[in-house]
């Protein structure tokens, strides 16, 4: 399994166009924030202390959530390509188990997603540093890394299932771009959940990536939130947390971090089992 994993990782980083496309949604996101979304969101909020820092943290949490899905998805491109060019025949003709081969694809995309998210995290921290804001503490970094792991694993379990439907690299690339773009809406990343109609809010709350985004926000925004709402009434803070998707309101109360963590674990387990069952059935 390690052989396939290492090979796939190397291929992902060597394939400049695949690398670019897997980051395309992230690039689009950054450009949108830079040009008008940032101002739009900022204008929709009243002026308060540490506003810029708070919003920057919010934005980076969203970027992390998108990255954890699109880079993982991009790395799965190797699997689609191997199948469409029949390069996978060479693996099937070798004495390795099919499960090792699939394990290799999964492991490599988890690794790729993890590394790319770490890069985003380092960039975020560097930007906090250069803009004179507080950097993340070690404990926070540790937590973020944990959430990255969780988020990447649950994404890859969903993607594994998705990937089996694509026969050509072209179709897969097109779908990846659509997914990457849609993701920003479905996880309340382009536009905060509070500004959206009720039915979209329900979809967002169900969508697994929204929970990665929420967890990232909870950690990254911890310090600026304290500064902003030090003097403010509790109700104002509650409204803000709810509208910005830091926590989701389900049945009248805000979700706990544990809920989001468990939700992501549940998704990972459910889709992994489903993928294994489908792959097994396909073989026989």
Partner 1 sequence: MSKIIEVHHLFKSFGAMEAVKDVSFYVEEGSLFSFLGTNGAGKSTTISILLTLLKQDAGVVKVNGLTVGKDDDAIRNEIGVVFQQSILDPLLTVKENLDYRARLYKMTKEERLAAIDRVADTVDISSIMQRRYGKLSGGQKRRVDIARGLLHQPKILLLDEPTTGLDPQNRKQIWNTILELQRKTNMTVFLTTHYIEEAANSNFVVVMKEGEIIAKGTPHYLKSQYSANRLMIIAKNPAQLRSQFQTDKLAFTEEHSTFLIQLEKTTDAIVLLAKYEELIDSFEVQKSSLDDVFIQIHNGKDDIHHDGCYEA
Which residues make up the interface to partner 1 (CB under 8 A)?
A: 2-4, 6-7, 10-11, 14-15, 85-87, 89-96
Identify which of residues 85 and 123 has a Cβ nearer to partner 1 in the complex.
85
Identify which of residues 79 and 214 has a Cβ nearer to partner 1 in the complex.
79
Smallest separation, CB 85 to partner 1 (Å): 7
Smallest separation, CB 4 to partner 1 (Å): 8
Identify which of residues 100 and 140 has a Cβ nearer to partner 1 in the complex.
100
Identify which of residues 14 and 282 has a Cβ nearer to partner 1 in the complex.
14
Smallest separation, CB 251 to partner 1 (Å): 51
Identify which of residues 93 and 198 has a Cβ nearer to partner 1 in the complex.
93
Identify which of residues 11 and 279 has a Cβ nearer to partner 1 in the complex.
11
The two three-digit tokens of residue 93, written as one number:
């003709």
Identify which of residues 90 and 234 has a Cβ nearer to partner 1 in the complex.
90
How far, in Å, CA of 97 to CA of 233, rounded?
60
Sign of CA dihedral 265, 268, 271, 273: negative
Residue 91 burial (C-beta neighbours within 10 Å; 0-12, 13-18, 19+): middle
Smallest separation, CB 92 to partner 1 (Å): 5
Smallest separation, CB 2 to partner 1 (Å): 7
Smallest separation, CB 7 to partner 1 (Å): 4
Comparing CA positions, the residue from 258, 71, 242, 72 lying closest to residue 147 is 258
Smallest separation, CB 106 to partner 1 (Å): 17
How far, in Å, CA of 86 to CA of 112, rounded?
23
């Amino acid at each position: 399994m390690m052989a396939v994993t290492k090979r796939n990782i190397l291929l992902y980083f060597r394939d400049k166009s695949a690398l670019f496309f897997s980051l395309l949604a992230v690039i689009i996101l950054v450009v949108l924030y830079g040009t008008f979304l940032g101002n739009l969101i900022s204008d929709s909020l009243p002026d308060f202390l540490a506003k810029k820092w708070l919003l920057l943290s919010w934005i980076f949490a969203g970027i992390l959530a998108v990255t954890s899905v699109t880079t993982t998805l991009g790395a799965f491109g190797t699997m689609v390509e191997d199948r469409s060019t029949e390069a996978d025949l060479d693996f099937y003709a070798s004495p390795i188990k099919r499960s090792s081969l699939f394990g290799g694809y999964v492991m490599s995309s988890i690794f790729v997603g993890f590394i790319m998210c770490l890069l985003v995290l380092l960039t975020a921290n560097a930007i906090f540093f250069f803009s004179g804001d507080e950097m993340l503490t070690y404990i926070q970094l540790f937590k973020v890394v944990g959430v990255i792991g969780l988020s990447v694993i649950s994404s890859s379990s969903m993607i594994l299932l998705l990937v089996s439907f694509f026969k050509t690299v072209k179709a897969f690339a097109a779908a990846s771009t659509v997914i990457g773009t849609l993701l920003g809406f479905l996880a309340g990343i382009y536009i905060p959940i509070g500004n959206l109609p009720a039915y979209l809010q329900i979809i967002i709350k169900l969508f697994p990536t929204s929970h990665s985004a929420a967890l990232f926000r909870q950690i990254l925004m911890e310090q600026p939130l304290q500064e902003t709402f030090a003097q403010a009434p509790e109700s104002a803070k509650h409204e803000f947390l709810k509208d910005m998707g830091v926590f989701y309101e389900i049945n009248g109360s805000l979700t706990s971090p544990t809920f989001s963590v468990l939700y992501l674990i549940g998704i990972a387990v459910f889709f992994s089992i489903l993928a294994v069952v489908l792959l097994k059935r396909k073989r026989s």
